[in-house]
Amino acid sequence: MAAPAIDPNAGLDAEPILRVEHLTMRFGGLVAVNDLSFDVARGQITALIGPNGAGKTTVFNCITGFYKPSSGRIVLMSDGALPGPAIDALTDTSMRSRRVGDGGIYLLERMPDSEIAAQARVARTFQNIRLFTGMTVLENLIVAQHNWLNRASGYSLLGLVGAKSFRDAEARAVEIAVAWLDRIGLKGRADDPAGALPYGDQRRLEIVRAMCTGPVLLCLDEPAAGLNPRESAELNELLLSIRDSNGTSLLLIEHDMSVVMEISDHIIVLEYGKKISDGTPEYIKNDPKVIAAYLGVEDEEVDDAAAELDQ
């Protein structure tokens, strides 16, 4: 098949919010991610796809601090910070982050997980849903707003005496939570335990819970896994609305191609821990390397090989 005459970066002129450079992750002798570099564009939906075991979730865990990468640099540029010499200057120091203009640059590979979520404002969901099942839907969303609420409660001291400033803050937190619940149509179930929700609702609740932390980058690990077509469509709608009305950049791992191709602005394909393709959905769809990775070799080649064997 001839190389496609499609520009891999058509329409991808947005500046990056996350830049992953030469990321390598080894587990003992196994190299799960090998010298991987890519950008996640600001205000867009970027998908990370690849066959099982390609290292997608490992990349996620490195970005969100659950793993410490063996080598490489992961830079988050929030609120308008741009790539530039400031990042190299920061890398030379032992610091983890620095404010630049209105925004900040964060070297995620140096930060532990909860700091990445709290300071760099990168939120994530999990492949196997991790809701607080014994807490109500509303409580789940309030817990997600822990950091600013805890400050508003004067680290519990103001809250303990029932100060008005804290009660107002809590009312505000409930408002935010209810607004999100309204968006996914779960307001009526706010007082039900999260574990009692149907699977599809739990998936969307987990995404909304991550959004309640006010992230600049939202990482979703297989958000459509186990959803039926109707739920998948609802998920697409939710993700697009998060991108468009909240301005949050999204990075997602997904196997469901109906989700990936429909909503992604940019796709990165991994195989055996290496990037094999990177571009717009249109480009990826027609890239022979991607097709080969997903389907093995092409049908004609199989036929040729069979014919050779017959001789």
Partner 1 sequence: MAEAEAKRVASDERAAFDWLGALRDAGFLGLLTLGLSFPIIAFRTRQDLWQGLVLDPRWELVTVLVAIAFTARFCWLVFGNRLAGGVQSLAERVGSTLSPLKSYTATFRLVGLAWLIAYPFLAVLFAGPGGALKWIDNFGIQILIYVMLGWGLNIVVGLAGLLDLGYVAFYAVGAYSTALLSTYFGFSFWLCLPLAGIFAALWGILLGFPVLRLRGDYLAIVTLAFGEIIRLVLINWVELTNGAAGISGIPRPTFFGLPFNASDEGFAAFFGLQFTPLHRLFFLFYLILLLALLTNWVTIRLRRLPIGRAWEALREDEIACRSLGIDTVTTKLTAFSIGAMFGGIAGAFFAARLGFISPKSFEFMESAVILSIVVLGGMGSQIGVAIAAVVMIGGTEMLRELVWLKAIFGAGFDPTQYRMLLFGMAMVAMMVWRPRGLISKREPSIVLHEKRAIGGELVKEGQG
Q: Catalog residues that contact partner 1 under the rule CB under 8 A.
A: 64, 66, 113-119, 123-126, 130-136, 138-139, 142-144, 146-147, 149-150, 153, 155-156, 159-160, 170, 174, 178, 187, 190-193, 195-196, 209-210, 213
Which residues 6+ apart lie within 8 Å of 91 measured at CB?
73, 107
User: Cα separation of 74 and 77, whole Å?
Assistant: 10
Comparison of 253 and 284: residue with beta carbon closer to partner 1: 253
Structure tokens at 200: 């599809």
CB of 196 to partner 1, least distance (A): 7
CB of 60 to partner 1, least distance (A): 11
User: Cα separation of 237 and 104, whole Å?
Assistant: 30
Structure tokens at 40: 């996640």
Comparison of 70 and 119: residue with beta carbon closer to partner 1: 119
Position 228, amino acid = N
CA neighbours closer than 13 Å in the CB half-sphere of residue 52? 1
Comparison of 147 and 286: residue with beta carbon closer to partner 1: 147
CB of 139 to partner 1, least distance (A): 6
CB of 243 to partner 1, least distance (A): 20
Comparison of 64 and 280: residue with beta carbon closer to partner 1: 64
Comparison of 187 and 274: residue with beta carbon closer to partner 1: 187
CB of 79 to partner 1, least distance (A): 17
CA distances, 219 to each of 57, 140, 142, 206, 249 (Å): 10, 18, 20, 12, 9
